[in-house]
């Protein structure tokens, strides 16, 4: 009888131990399966696309630090399945607009201003009150015609590198295409070899052959 009880007890112990080990192994397998499924879970295409776009900004020292940190935070949200997709799209759009504006501004700074064009003529005309008894007083002038579509103003005139004094003038402000400015010069028009005009857009020099 004792022998039978001993055998029964041993059998129960062995069976219980086996069941316990089996349950433990099953739980372990379940955890590993869950981890594997979590690791192999794919990110949906929309999130992946946003992550790819944010990758250009999350470690970009050329953008403001605040935006760089926000890009990094949004990237992590997407990676873990969080974040508002529309909000993130709006943020990326703002970054792209700012980037495009910076590129356009840099291009404008590198592009020199278009050269303005003028037509210059020299004239020597007597005053209308000249008579036969007195020698006619000759007025020497520069006639400057604007060939520019945009309005422009002449801010300075230099004749013969400053060696020919310049007097008063007319119509040299807010010149439209075809406007003729008349500027008095205090030297013989036949002596003029060089005229330099200055506007807000630059300085332009014209040479004459003396004929």
**CB-based burial label for 206 (10 Å; 0-12, 13-18, 19+):** middle
Lateral strand order in the sheet of 156-159: 156-159, 194-199, 202-207
**CB-based burial label for 28 (10 Å; 0-12, 13-18, 19+):** exposed
Residue 130's pLDDT is 53
Q: What 8-state DSSP symbol labels residue 151? A: -
Per residue in 66-120, pLDDT tens? 888 888 888 888 888 888 889 988 988 888 888 888 877 776 665 455 689 999 9
* 27 has a pLDDT exceeding 80: no
The pTM assigned to this predicted structure is 0.45
* Angle separating helix axes 65-79 and 45-54, nearest 10 degrees: 150
């Amino acid at each position: 009888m004792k022998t039978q009880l001993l055998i029964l007890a041993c059998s129960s112990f062995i069976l219980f131990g086996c069941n316990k080990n089996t349950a433990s192994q099953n739980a372990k397998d379940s955890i590993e399966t869950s981890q594997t499924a979590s690791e192999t879970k794919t990110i949906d295409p929309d999130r992946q696309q946003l992550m790819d776009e944010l990758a250009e900004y999350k470690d970009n020292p050329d953008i403001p630090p605040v935006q760089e940190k926000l890009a990094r935070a949004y990237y992590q949200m997407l990676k873990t399945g969080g974040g508002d997709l529309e909000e993130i799209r709006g943020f990326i759009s703002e970054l792209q607009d700012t980037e495009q504006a910076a590129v356009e501004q840099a291009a404008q700074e590198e592009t020199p201003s278009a050269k303005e064009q003028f037509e210059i003529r020299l004239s020597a005309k007597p005053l209308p009150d000249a008579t036969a008894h007195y020698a006619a007083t000759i007025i020497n002038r520069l006639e400057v015609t604007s060939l520019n579509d945009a309005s422009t103003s002449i801010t300075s005139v230099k004749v013969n590198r400053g060696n020919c004094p310049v007097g008063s003038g007319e119509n040299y402000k807010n010149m439209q295409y075809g406007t003729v400015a008349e500027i008095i010069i205090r030297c013989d028009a036949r002596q003029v070899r060089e005229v330099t005009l200055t506007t807000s857009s630059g300085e332009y020099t014209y040479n004459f052959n003396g004929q």
